[in-house]
Amino acid sequence: MLGSIRNKTKGVVAYFIVGLITIPFALFGINEYFTGASNVVVATINDNDISKEEFLAEFNPQKRRLQQQLSEKYDANFDSILKQSIINQMIDSRLLDQLADELGHVTTAAELKFIIQADDAFKENGNFSMEKYKQLLRLNGYNVAKYESTKSQGLTQDQIKYNLLDSAFVTPSQLDKLQKLNDQQRKFSHVVLNADNYIEKVKVDAKSIKDYYDNQKESFFAPEQVKVEFVELSLAEIAKKIEASEDELFNFYEEESERFTTEEERKAQHILIEDEAEAQKVVDLLAKGIEFNKLAQEYSVDTGSKDNGGDLGFFTRGVMVPEFEQKVFAMSAGQTSGLVKSEFGYHIIKLNEIKPGILRSFADARFELSNTYKQTKAQKSLYDSTEQLANLAYESSLEEVVDQMDLKLNTTEFFARSNTDYEKGFVNAAFSDVVLNKNENSEVLELAENRYVVVRLKEKLAQRQKAFSEVEGEINTHLTKVLAKTFVDNIAQQIVKSLRSGDKDAAKELMDKNQLKFSDAIWVDRGSNDVDKDIVSRVFTLPKPSANSSTYSSQTLSKSSVVVINLNSVKTDVSSKSKSSLKSSLLEFEANEIFSSILKTLHSSAEIKIFTQNL
């Protein structure tokens, strides 16, 4: 077990941990400090309460996962969205619990046992292992009762959906019709016309540009902009200015010798037993001369180390549980302990080898020593300087801050609220009421770790209507693209019109004039990747061609392109395998729709109250 913890919980354990919800540690407000989160209600469903403690147990792990995924992009908006999502899920779960109770759905102990014992995460050598089961639950903050209660609740709710799936049906004629549509294949050729290739063939007159401006003036505003001055205090810049003499470095080396000493390592093996009486029995057997390795293989419940005689390899302080660590680092090499109790049971430890920490020489550590010294001094200086910066920025001008602290006064270009060249906090400060309207210095902003700034308004530009001369080129570009798209739409429609009327010569002449050519005809199904998926989806919207003829159509693909499609032929090849797969999908879809409708009905008929202020 401890070996598994030390190795960062590898293999099947890791997969299981991802699937389990850990119990979070939460800090509550002052009211909750006295009353406890379990006494704070966040929602009621038909007089059934959801406590804040239950809510936080769901919310905190999901919040942590989101914060890890989004990093600095995570903000308070995600909190409110996540809270609402989780409380909705919990309400759905309570409603389903109540419905399951009314319908008499239960998960029996035998069913629960079968499901748990069938889970590969709890198996060793293909068989269910009670030791591994308890071990994995302990690693994830569960006891057996809590886990089995949660599992049973989920299985009971699943019965509702499975019963709906059993009651859902699809008639043979429906299935046959849908299967034919699903398995249909179509043969077609196509040509794409892109407006960007026809820009030079169109021209927008000056009057159209002016008329567009006059009719769309509200679209042409320059947003409010600011130009700001700021001073910046950073650890990196402070560290550059710090010099260190040889004497200072050597004194630092002696004071901080632990920094440059490799950690002491100890190699041990252990036997872990849950029952104290049985553990004492093993101690007695060791005293009689029975080999430690043999007893570990026979008695230890630590599946991660027992097969290797309980060997845990080398480890440093801070790796093992406190009781284990305290004992093993107080032992001498070759010594065997008595019983050592921890949250996992009773350990019997044998210390095999000690690798003492080694202090690196001054010369060997000098480069790292110099950097560490500068960073340490810079960190202390930064702390003092940040306090000084805050005081000066509050009382004085930025010019005085620059003079007294030997900093540089920086100036930005004009930027708007939507600017992404600067950090979000920097932009928010520049447009804050204090800076923008009161012309005061901002508070000290921590933009990144060990980087601080104070911002002051230098100049601002109010939102204004852009003059025609400023946007004339922009409008011309826009209208040119619109006109080019109209141009290619017209070509495509003329090609289709000629082909539908049977005038292939006119169609060929038009295509040759515009250097267009149909692609080779190919067969595709609905999931084909041989052609752009957007084109494939449009091919399957067209009516089937009649005998000895084709279906022609022009379809807009985007703001700048259009496709002409020549649908030649349609065929269907239904296999029994695909028919069975489609039937399962349709039944599941129908069951999900019924399940969704039931949830809506339960919501409408239930008395639900959400206390948003308590979330």
pLDDT at 382: 87
Per DSSP, which regions of 78-172 are E strands?
123-124, 127-128
Q: Which two tokens stand for residue 180?
A: 């034919």
Q: Specify whether 29 is located in the same domain as 143.
A: yes
pLDDT at 93: 85
Can you tell me the distance from the alpha carbon of 57 to that of 37, in angstroms, rounded to the nearest whole number? 11
Handedness of CA 1, 272, 355, 293 (dihedral sign): negative
119: phi then psi, degrees, rounded to nearest 5: -75, 120
Instruction: Let me know if residue 321 belongs to a domain.
Output: yes
pLDDT band at 133; cut points 50, 70, 90: confident
Instruction: Let me know if residue 581 belongs to a domain.
Output: no
Q: Which two tokens stand for residue 520?
A: 């080779």
Instruction: Let me know if residue 488 belongs to a domain.
Output: yes
Instruction: Quickly count: other Cβ atoms within 10 Å of residue 344's Cβ.
Output: 21
Q: Cβ contacts of residue 470 below 8 Å, gap of 6+?
A: 220, 222
Q: Specify whether 212 is located in the same domain as 232.
A: no
Per-residue pLDDT tens digits for 347-395: 999 999 999 888 888 888 888 888 888 888 888 888 888 889 999 999 8
Q: Specify whether 406 is located in the same domain as 272.
A: no
Is the CB of residue 595 less than 8 Å from the CB of residue 99? no
pLDDT at 15: 33
Per-residue pLDDT tens digits for 526-540: 888 889 999 999 999
Per-residue pLDDT tens digits for 471-501: 999 999 999 999 999 999 999 999 999 999 9
pLDDT at 190: 96
Instruction: Let me know if residue 586 belongs to a domain.
Output: no
Q: Specify whether 338 is located in the same domain as 415.
A: no
Output the domain CATH number for residue 384. 3.10.50
Output the domain CATH number for residue 313. 3.10.50.40
Task: Tell me whether residue 302 is exposed, middle or buried, using C-beta atoms within 10 angstroms of its C-beta: 0 to 12, 13 to 18, 19 or more.
Answer: buried
Instruction: Let me know if residue 590 belongs to a domain.
Output: no
Q: Specify whether 495 is located in the same domain as 457.
A: no
Arithmetic mean of pLDDT, 127-146: 75
Instruction: Let me know if residue 25 belongs to a domain.
Output: yes
| Tokens 């810049």, residue located | 237
Q: How many helices (H) and strands (E) does the chain have?
A: 23, 20
Q: Specify whether 322 is located in the same domain as 459.
A: no
Per-residue pLDDT tens digits for 73-121: 777 677 888 888 999 989 988 888 888 888 777 788 777 888 888 888 8
Can you tell me the distance from the alpha carbon of 150 to that of 161, in angstroms, rounded to the nearest whole number? 18
Arithmetic mean of pLDDT, 181-199: 90
pLDDT at 477: 94
In a 13 Å sphere around the CA of 336, the CA atoms on its Cβ side amount to 16
Instruction: Let me know if residue 209 belongs to a domain.
Output: yes
pLDDT above 50: residue 12:
no
pLDDT above 90: residue 340:
yes
pLDDT at 181: 66
Q: Which two tokens stand for residue 472?
A: 């004339």
Q: Specify whether 429 is located in the same domain as 548.
A: no
Q: Specify whether 439 is located in the same domain as 505.
A: no
Q: Specify whether 69 is located in the same domain as 211.
A: no
Q: Where on the phi/psi map is residue 450: left (φ > 0), alpha (ψ -120 to 50), or beta?
A: left
| One-letter-per-residue 3-state SS of 301-369 | CCCCCHHHCCEEEEECCCCCCHHHHHHHCCCCCCCEEEEEEECCEEEEEEEEEEECCCECCHHHHHHHH
Q: Specify whether 239 is located in the same domain as 375.
A: yes
pLDDT above 80: residue 456:
yes
Is the CB of residue 492 less than 8 Å from the CB of residue 564? yes
| 122 three-state secondary structure | helix
pLDDT at 36: 44
Can you tell me the distance from the alpha carbon of 365 to that of 368, in angstroms, rounded to the nearest whole number? 6
Q: Which domain does 64 fall in, by range? A: 2-167+608-614
Q: Specify whether 54 is located in the same domain as 96.
A: yes
Q: Specify whether 474 is located in the same domain as 555.
A: yes
Q: Cβ contacts of residue 374 below 8 Å, gap of 6+?
A: 239, 242, 244
Instruction: Let me know if residue 362 belongs to a domain.
Output: no
Q: How many domains is the chain partitioned into structurally?
A: 4
Can you tell me the distance from the alpha carbon of 124 to that of 591, in angstroms, rounded to the nearest whole number? 37
